[in-house]
Chains A and B, each alone.
Chain A
């Protein structure tokens, strides 16, 4: 099974400042087709999870361009260039190469 590890687990951020979340997988998520099967999801308070980024760096529909994903193989990063109040929530990475598995989640809140 592929184990996903996120850091930090808690991320207090001042509005307008950047934020970064790291996700590491126990095996490479790079498929032979050249794509990394790594997604990012956010669960905002009281809501179901929603897709932010798929295949490592592709924004889902409606996701603002201040949110970006990068990385390859086993190391991935989610970046928010300027945090806004609406970004509060728990962020999860998820691998989709072998079935699925999630990271532990990173709780982002406003300082």
Chain B
């Protein structure tokens, strides 16, 4: 079945790094634009980053200030988020989400999320 599964979350100290992964299955991953979105405890959704199907277009939220890097490997059906210089305020559930590249039907694919906790 169509699925996005995030992994790589965990407990990390302030200033540390973490790499999140999102494994896609059940659909043609290379036909989808992908995004990372997070949700801090008790807060709303915050869009973080977007990558086009061929990775030639990438956007980031201004709030990240160059600390996060999005990438993808279509051969491995995987999306990644490299997170550096982590801060307590990066503590959140991180979701990957996808939308079809050829026509806009909204972000209709979402993973279950992976939890990142930044604490000493």
A residues whose Cβ falls under 8 Å from a Cβ of B: 1, 35, 37, 39, 41, 43, 48-51, 53-55, 58, 60-61, 90, 92, 94, 96, 99-105
Beyond A35-B104, A37-B104, A96-B104, whether A48 also contacts B47 by CB under 8 A is: no
Least CB separation from A95: chain B residue: B47
Interface residues on B, range: 20 to 34
Q: Are B45 and A99 in contact (CB under 8 A)?
A: no
Q: Are A49 and B45 in contact (CB under 8 A)?
A: yes
B residues whose Cβ falls under 8 Å from a Cβ of A: 35, 37, 44-47, 50, 59, 61-62, 95, 97, 99, 104-108, 110-113
Q: Are B45 and A92 in contact (CB under 8 A)?
A: yes
Partner of B110, one of A49, A101, A102, A104: A49
Q: Are A99 and B104 in contact (CB under 8 A)?
A: no
Q: Are B45 and A102 in contact (CB under 8 A)?
A: yes
Closest beta carbon of chain B to A90's beta carbon, Å: 7
Beyond A39-B106, A49-B95, A55-B104, whether A90 also contacts B44 by CB under 8 A is: yes
Least CB separation from A102: chain B residue: B45
Q: Are A99 and B112 in contact (CB under 8 A)?
A: no
Contacts of B44 in A (CB 8 A): 90, 92, 102-105
Least CB separation from A43: chain B residue: B45
Q: Are B50 and A48 in contact (CB under 8 A)?
A: no
Q: Are B45 and A39 in contact (CB under 8 A)?
A: no
Least CB separation from B112: chain A residue: A48
Contacts of A51 in B (CB 8 A): 106-108
13 extra interchain contacts, Cβ-Cβ under 8 A, other than A48-B113, A58-B106, A60-B106?
A35-B104, A48-B111, A50-B110, A53-B106, A55-B106, A58-B105, A90-B44, A92-B45, A99-B47, A99-B50, A100-B47, A100-B50, A101-B61
Docked Cα-Cα span, A73 to B74, in Å, equals 35
Closest beta carbon of chain B to A64's beta carbon, Å: 16
